[in-house]
């Protein structure tokens, strides 16, 4: 959740009704002083269930009714297409398809698709980082001379900082995943950015440091 002073921007909406321990985002936002209907921009890094599940509530209503949703054009087209090339067993593929069908079509009228690196609101920019999914993107936040890089799922674990050539079963295109990781690691180093990994151990914040042998994750 990012409050720029002019915009209230949410990056990803969590898992929603995916499981018995999910769906806590609306309550947590309120506890932090943010009303869901006060959020004006929702950025979706990609279409996996744990990142779009809060787009709608248990009744199918849009969870952020006044927001502009932003998503990569290739990502939107993939999840609203035939969904060929998905990895995993049939149960996982079914879960991915169902989540996309449930949580993406309702936001169509509030959607802004992007196909390149672009500023979303002042200080917050989308960085194409395909591979984990066809149109996956990372998010760069700049404020007061400092930077935050939100990885989305370009890296799923700190080990991917040290071993960027290792990929996961759920990476749609391993080659593109690896290329995107090198791009983001270089970006973070060049700007001395704080980095947020969605699936990294809580609180998921750290920096990328370079040793003669490799990059390393330095948690804050």
User: What are 33-47's pLDDT values in tens digits?
Assistant: 999 999 999 999 999
213 burial via Cβ count (<10 Å: 0-12, 13-18, 19+): exposed
Taking the model in full, what pTM does it have? 0.96
Number of domains in the chain: 1
Structure confidence at residue 115 (pLDDT) = 93
Structural domain of 185: 2-219
Summarised one tens digit per residue, pLDDT across range 143-187 is: 999 999 999 999 999 999 999 999 999 999 999 999 999 999 999
Nearest-angstrom CA–CA distance, 199 and 127? 19
| pLDDT beyond 90 at 113 | yes
Q: How far is CA 124 from CA 29, 79, 106, 143, 150, in A?
A: 20, 24, 25, 9, 10
**Average pLDDT of the chain?**
96
Structure confidence at residue 88 (pLDDT) = 87
| pLDDT beyond 90 at 128 | yes
Kind of pairing between the strands at 137-143 and 124-128:
antiparallel
| pLDDT beyond 90 at 87 | no
CATH number, position 184: 3.60.15.10
Full 3-state SS string of 1-58: CEECCCCEEEECCCCCCCCCCCCCHHHHHHHCCCCHHHCCEEECCCCCHHHHHHHECC
Summarised one tens digit per residue, pLDDT across range 47-82 is: 999 999 999 998 999 999 999 999 999 999 999 999
């Amino acid at each position: 959740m990012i409050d720029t002073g002019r915009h209230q921007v949410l990056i990803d909406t969590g898992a929603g009704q995916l499981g018995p321990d999910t769906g806590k985002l609306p309550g947590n936002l309120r506890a932090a002083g943010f009303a869901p209907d006060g959020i004006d921009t929702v950025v979706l890094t990609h279409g996996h269930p744990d990142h779009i599940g809060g787009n709608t509530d248990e009744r199918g209503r849009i969870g952020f009714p006044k927001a502009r949703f932003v998503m990569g054009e290739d990502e939107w087209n993939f999840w609203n297409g035939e969904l060929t090339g998905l990895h995993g067993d049939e149960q996982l593929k079914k879960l991915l398809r169902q989540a996309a069908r449930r949580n993406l079509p309702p936001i169509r009228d509030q959607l802004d698709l992007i196909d390149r690196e672009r500023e979303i609101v002042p200080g917050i920019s989308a960085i194409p980082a395909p591979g984990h999914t066809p149109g996956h993107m990372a998010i760069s936040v700049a404020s007061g001379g400092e930077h935050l890089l939100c990885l989305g799922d370009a890296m799923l674990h700190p080990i991917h900082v040290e071993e960027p050539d290792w990929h996961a079963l759920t990476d749609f295109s391993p080659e593109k995943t690896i290329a995107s990781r090198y791009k983001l690691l270089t970006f973070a180093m060049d700007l001395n950015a704080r980095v947020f990994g969605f699936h990294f151990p809580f609180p998921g914040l750290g920096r990328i440091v370079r040793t003669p042998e490799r990059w390393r994750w330095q948690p804050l």
